Amino acid sequence: MPYQTEIARDAGVSSRSPVAGGEVGKGNDCFSALSSSALSLLKPYLTEIVFREGTILWDPRKLSSEVYFPVSGLISIILPASDGVSVEVGSISRQAAVGAIFEPGQVDFCTQGVVRLGGSFIRMPGSHLLFAAKENSEIENFVTYCRDWILMQAQQMAACNAVHAADMRFCRWLFQACERMDTDTFHLTQEMIASLLAIRRTTVTLIAQKLQAEGLIQYRRGKIVVLDRARLRAAACECCNSLTRQHWPSTRLLNTSALKLHGQS
């Protein structure tokens, strides 16, 4: 299904004035941050698609040729190990895009892209995005910011997984998901959380029960409701303070646009 009409409506490209992170359009936030001329280079190739949780978008044996822009879902970048254990090294929601954003052959992928929270996504062929990036500096910035975002998260997750406790990592993941998805309710099974954090399912159950007893969350049958986001953040590891809104590709794009406009005026 062509996405041109929806993009034009949701992204609000007629107005380029930078807006705060929570007020951007209903689509992927990066579209709102691009100028109409930059967006017009992408529009012909954008397609809307709905993915269910658990959909594997790429893995080391089958690389993606598509770029995915989450709208209401979340993609986990997973590092699978040979013994069946896996750990998340990054996640992408509507503030960024992921998939074929690297030049072919530039990076050897060892990760798997899994839809962790199902919902709607926009996709386009990676080759068209990379071609557009060579033609347009805004899109070039966008691609760079998305690559940076993946790298920053990978660095942070490496440290977090190595030095922080499981319950603090659980809180960190949940808090960041609240911030990025702009919701307090998630449909996540214990198995899903266990595979994100490389811990046992039973460990997830006990941590969730502990947080529930402390009044931070409500957890029942695969549904988590965050009751107190501030206390959840306090219970999380310091990584919450490292990867904030200012690092989101959409925010960086808006800031770059604002600086450019300021420089012109």
Partner 1 sequence: MPFYHFVLKTRDSHIPDPDGGEWPNDFAAHKEAGLVAQDLMRNQEVKTGSWRIEVRDQDLQPLSEILFAEIDQTIAHFPAELRQRHILASRRMAALSDAILALRKTLGEVSATINQANTVMALVAGKRG
**How many angstroms separate the Cα of 190 from the Cα of each of 88, 106, 156, 223, 226?**
15, 36, 23, 10, 16
Nearest distance, CB of residue 201 and partner 1, angstroms: 8
d(CA 129, CA 113): 19
Confirm or reject binding of residue 205 to partner 1 (CB under 8 A): yes
d(CA 239, CA 167): 13
Alpha helices in 58-216 (DSSP H): 126-135, 137-163, 166-181, 190-197, 201-213
| 76 within 8 A of 91, measured Cβ to Cβ | yes
* Residue 96 vs 204, nearer CB to partner 1: 204
Exactly one of 206, 225, 259, 261 binds partner 1 (CB under 8 A); that residue is 206
Confirm or reject binding of residue 128 to partner 1 (CB under 8 A): no
Confirm or reject binding of residue 199 to partner 1 (CB under 8 A): yes
Element (H, E) at 18: none
Confirm or reject binding of residue 231 to partner 1 (CB under 8 A): no
Exactly one of 201, 229, 231, 247 binds partner 1 (CB under 8 A); that residue is 201
Confirm or reject binding of residue 166 to partner 1 (CB under 8 A): yes
Confirm or reject binding of residue 207 to partner 1 (CB under 8 A): yes
Give me the residues that bind partner 1 (CB under 8 A), please: 162-167, 199-203, 205-207, 209-210, 213
